[in-house]
């Protein structure tokens, strides 16, 4: 399905975007043909909209999501929407953004790709899909994973009249913080804990990672297959995988493969570099890099918050400098970064390099509108069911609980045995717990 929506809802004449979405429902083959009226009624099932994580990630197709069959079995029909600027929804890349003009025009365009615009797209689509539905089916349910949960909280704040119920996993946004710095001060602590787990499981990598860092530095950076450059700092951003199930092992696999290459050939092979590039790059999802800090801003500028906070921590001094010789390396391990975006990424990536001027303007922009309405959330009447992970590296548990205390009637499934990507990695248990809360079957 394709829908036309305004770029700027406050100024519809400013242009339009195309929003692409895929629907999924149960295929039925009745014994006897149904009348048109019966067929119409059967097709009008309650909608469940899935809001993808990110920001900037394309929505998976229905067949790739375990959620699809669970939801269909529960009587829903699913809608998977590519959020504006992603997937097939007027996608943003360096080349498409260049069509907007200079850096300032590009930055002004990018300001319309946050959660407040995303939920207005969703609400417009809901009204279109349900215009001829009976009144009891006009509201829909939404399911937000990670950033999708942030969007769900914005939806609850701005347009709760369109919602029947809300599910979210790892998506309790830190709505109580006054500045993005508070988010990163909390999440860097979580990243440090995950680094300790990494080096506890793979103690040999203390030395291996240091040697790899020195090798990369000695080469002045290593060209990547798609044209970017593997620098020491870029290498250390592999740590964004630490917060997912299997993330520790996936990083170690890269380290072991690089070490093996150097032992056999004294250089890194193309397959190894391709695997590294795939794990590191945001070239195919530039919105994530440009807007990641902006999702935490209301009336403030981020000013590269993750970079500033990280440079104040001794564990991440590689953000300021890199080893010049093996003697510069201590016995302390080099700590991987987490889900952070740094200015140097706009130098090491060919696609992001083209967006550096616009990204600088976004980082300096302070007039971001409010995304959440605490007064509305305090009087919320929409049922909300959230899976919250105590060991979530990307969404600090303490900040998440502050948010939960602001949402009237929220129910949470809280666990310390899952990570942020449990919707994918532990889908059956997560879905069971969410629907158990909805059906009030705990007793």
Q: What is the pLDDT of residues 360-384, one digit of tens each?
A: 999 999 999 999 999 999 999 999 9
Count: domains in the chain: 2
57-76 pLDDT tens trace: 889 888 888 899 999 999 99
Active site (annotated) includes residue 89: no
Answer yes or no: do 327 and 408 share one domain. Answer: no
Task: Select which of 121, 392, 396, 421 is catalytic.
Answer: 392
Q: Are residues 340 and 210 located together in one domain of the fold?
A: yes
Mean pLDDT of 119-142: 96
Q: Is residue 26 part of a domain?
A: yes
153 lies in the same domain as 239: no
CATH number (domain holding residue 122): 3.40.50.1820
For residue 199, count other CB atoms closer than 10 A to its CB. 19
73 & 123 share domain: yes
- The number of beta carbons lying within 10 Å of the beta carbon of residue 212 is 20
- Note the pLDDT of residue 58: 87
Q: Is residue 421 part of a domain?
A: yes
For the chain, the average pLDDT equals: 93
The pLDDT value given to residue 368: 97
Are 390 and 348 found together in one domain? no
- As a whole number, mean pLDDT of residues 141-166 equals 97
- Specify whether 353 is located in the same domain as 386: no
Q: Which of 117, 157, 420, 421 is catalytic?
A: 420
Per-residue pLDDT at 192 exceeds 80: yes
Answer yes or no: is pLDDT of 39 > 60.
Answer: no
pLDDT (0 to 100) of residue 25:
87
293 and 384 together in one domain: no
Backbone angles phi, psi at 374, to 5 degrees: -65, -30
Q: What is the reported pLDDT for 397?
A: 97
Give the residue from 336, 364, 392 where a domain finishes.
364
Residue 239 lies in a domain: yes
Residue from 89, 146, 157, 349 carrying the catalytic annotation: 146
pLDDT at 36 (0 to 100): 59
Q: Is residue 11 part of a domain?
A: yes
Question: Is cis: bond before 164, omega within 30 of 0?
Answer: no
| CA gyration radius, the chain | 23
User: If you average pLDDT over residues 231-259, what whole number do you get?
Assistant: 97
Of 364, 399, 419, the residue that ends a domain is 364
Query: Which residue segment(s) compose the domain that 392 sits in?
Result: 2-175+371-438
Cβ–Cβ < 8 Å for 250, 371: no
Same domain for 269 and 216: yes
| Percent of the chain whose predicted confidence (pLDDT) is above 70 | 93
392: annotated active-site residue: yes
Shared-domain flag, residues 308 and 346:
yes
Domain membership flag for residue 93: yes
Residue 414 pLDDT level (bands cut at 50, 70, 90): very high
pLDDT tens string 159-188: 999 999 999 999 999 999 999 999 999 999
257 and 378 part of one domain: no
37 in active site: no
Q: Can you give the pLDDT at residue 440?
A: 85
Higher-scoring residue by pLDDT: 92, 330: 92
Give the model's pLDDT for residue 183. 97
Report pLDDT for 418. Answer: 96
Please say if the pLDDT value at position 327 is more than 60.
no
The last residue of one of the domains, among 343, 364, 385, is 364
Whether the predicted pLDDT of 77 surpasses 90? yes
381 and 342 housed in the same domain: no
Helix (H), strand (E), coil (C) string for the chain = CEEEEECCCCCHHHCEEEEEEEEECCCCCCCCCCCHHHHHHHHCCCEEEEECCCCCCCCCCHHHCHHHHHHHHCCCEEEEECCCCCCCCCCCCHHHHHCCCCHHHHHHHHCCCCHHHHHHHHHHHHHHHCCCCCHHHCCEEEEEECHHHHHHHHHHHHCHHHEEEEEEECCCCCCCCCCHHHHHHHHHHHHHHHHHHHHHHCCCHHHHHHHHHHHHHHCCCEECCCCCEECHHHHHHHHHHHHCCCHHHHHHHHHHHHHHHHHHHCCCCHHHHHHHHHHHCCCCCHHHHHHCCHHHCCCCCCCCHHHHHHHCCHHHHHHCCCCCCHHHCCCCCCCCCCCCCCCCHHHHCHHHHCCHHHHHHHHHCCCCCCCCCHHHHHCCCCCEEEEEECCCCCCCHHHHHHHHCCCCCCEEEEECCCCCCHHHHCHHHHHHHHHHHHCCCCC
Report, as an integer, the average pLDDT of 413-423: 96
**Within this chain, do residues 341 and 380 fall inside the same structural domain, yes or no?**
no
Give the model's pLDDT for residue 42: 64
Give backbone dihedrals phi and psi of 287, rounded to 5 degrees, phi first.
Answer: -60, -35
Look at residue 26 in the predicted model and tell me its pLDDT: 77
Is 443 within a domain? no
pLDDT level of residue 43 (50, 70, 90 thresholds): confident
């Amino acid at each position: 399905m394709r829908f036309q929506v305004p770029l700027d809802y406050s100024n519809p004449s400013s242009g339009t975007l195309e929003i692409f979405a895929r629907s999924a429902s149960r295929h039925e083959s009745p014994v006897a043909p149904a009348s048109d009226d019966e067929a119409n009624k059967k097709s009008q099932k309650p909608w469940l909209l899935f809001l993808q994580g990110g920001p900037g990630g394309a929505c998976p197709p229905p067949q790739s999501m375990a959620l699809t069959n669970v939801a269909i079995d529960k009587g829903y029909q699913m809608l998977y929407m590519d959020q504006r600027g992603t997937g097939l929804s007027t996608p943003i890349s360096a080349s498409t953004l260049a069509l907007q003009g200079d850096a300032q025009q590009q930055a002004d365009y990018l300001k319309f790709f946050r959660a407040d615009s995303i939920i207005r797209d969703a609400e417009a689509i809901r009204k279109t899909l349900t215009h001829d539905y009976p009144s009891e089916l006009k509201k829909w349910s939404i399911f937000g994973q990670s950033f999708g949960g942030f969007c769900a909280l914005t939806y609850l704040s701005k347009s709760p009249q369109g919602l029947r119920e809300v599910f979210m996993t790892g998506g309790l946004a830190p709505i109580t913080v006054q500045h993005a710095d508070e988010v990163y001060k909390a999440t860097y602590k979580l990243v440090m804990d995950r680094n300790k787990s990494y080096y506890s499981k793979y103690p040999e990598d203390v030395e291996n990672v240091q040697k790899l860092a020195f090798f990369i530095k000695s080469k002045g950076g290593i060209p990547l297959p798609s044209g970017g450059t593997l620098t020491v700092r870029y290498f250390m951003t592999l740590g964004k995988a630490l917060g997912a199930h299997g993330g520790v092992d996936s990083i170690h696999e890269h380290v072991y493969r690089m070490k093996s290459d150097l032992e056999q050939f004294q250089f890194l092979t193309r397959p190894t570099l391709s695997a590294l590039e795939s794990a590191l790059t945001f070239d195919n999802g530039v919105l994530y890099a440009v807007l990641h800090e902006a999702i935490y801003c209301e009336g403030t500028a981020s000013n590269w918050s993750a970079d500033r906070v990280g440079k104040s921590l001794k564990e991440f001094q590689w953000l300021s400098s890199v080893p010049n010789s093996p003697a510069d390396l201590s016995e302390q391990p080099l700590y991987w970064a987490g889900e952070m975006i740094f200015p140097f990424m706009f130098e090491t990536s060919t696609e992001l390099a083209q967006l550096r001027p616009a990204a600088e303007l976004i980082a300096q922009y302070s007039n971001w509108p409010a995304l959440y309405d605490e007064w509305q959330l305090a009087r919320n009447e929409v049922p909300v069911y959230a899976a919250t992970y105590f060991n979530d590296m990307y969404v600090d548990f303490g900040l998440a609980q502050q948010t939960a205390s602001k949402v009237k009637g929220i129910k949470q499934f809280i666990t310390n045995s899952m990570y942020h990507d449990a919707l994918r990695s532990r889908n059956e248990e997560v879905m069971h717990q969410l629907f158990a809360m909805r059906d009030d079957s705990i007793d």
